[in-house]
Structure 1
């Protein structure tokens, strides 16, 4: 099985995948048969088979992702847009630098593993993997994604030293796809689509975000590890 680093290094959406994402109109909203990018699924199968090994002094903790979400935004004009992506160029001001492979990007929703592409920020591909849910030392999964900060960074003395390493699994995980948690659909102006203003979309089968304020983005870019019976 190819390891996570190699898979992220070689990642690229095929032209067929890009075309399908760009042209997908979701005629039945979240109730139809959405297009699941095989490139995302492959990464998820590998990521959900591995784990973080956190070492602090003589103590070791295993933190295994059990659910991940993809965030993918092409800066170039006419590219695939994902306005909720945190690390992307602003409409005005200086463009943001390109993250190196495998950076743990901390933000208000949790922690991403980055795999951005490009040589210039102006036409970069912003790509990352949010750890939406995780398990610690084999315990039941925890869906509070921001608690991952504590699992990876807390309880470690700077004087004793600590490390975070990725350990690949031996076999790909079985996964199931779903929409990303509480991610709104955006209009052509880059604004979240308010539920009260888009009854027509709800009538077509679109669903609401968890807070019930917005239309849910129907792209199935979340992958969860299947439970073994």
Structure 2
């Protein structure tokens, strides 16, 4: 069984994001980058399935500039067998990413595709669903538990009303949620081994996919500064401020 795992290069979640002075984009100068945390969970789940003997090969794929190879190498150090990069400097929207991943799926023919449920930069949470629709594959999103057996994958999903379990025929697309697992750290020997694992570089043109975006970014602004709170002496004073100052009641 082959598993394809998509990993995205994002600003490390511990780093405070800065906006460029001209408000055109996020400032990435000297900023630490890392694998998107939800993608890291997807890699960990793939490695666990391989350790159980369910999977035989894990392929990590990332889309973007040459620097994305750092995140692929990290995935290889965590346990993936080989990597694929689709190299492009163009900004990629969710649909473009889904189309590129679909082209990789057509070439690799994986039995299971694992993605993070969303990225922490754009927070769209839609690439997995788009990929499943384009590839004609069954999908299980927001997975908190994944079990593969007898050509099917059982996915326990986190939904508004609690938990929902769905049974999917393989091949399938599964997007991973926060409580699925706790990713491991890459050991130094595995980091060294990852440097020798194969990593293929392709371009959107090689895959026959156009990545021209139909969206235009007008302006990027930091969130408003949070105002200091106040203490009130009584319920009456609280109600008065909520009604007359906050105007929420």
Same fold at TM > 0.5: no
More helix by share: 2
By relative contact order (CA 8 Å, sep 6+), the higher-ranking structure is 1
What TM-score do the two structures reach when normalised by structure 1?
Answer: 0.26
What TM-score do the two structures reach when normalised by structure 2?
Answer: 0.24
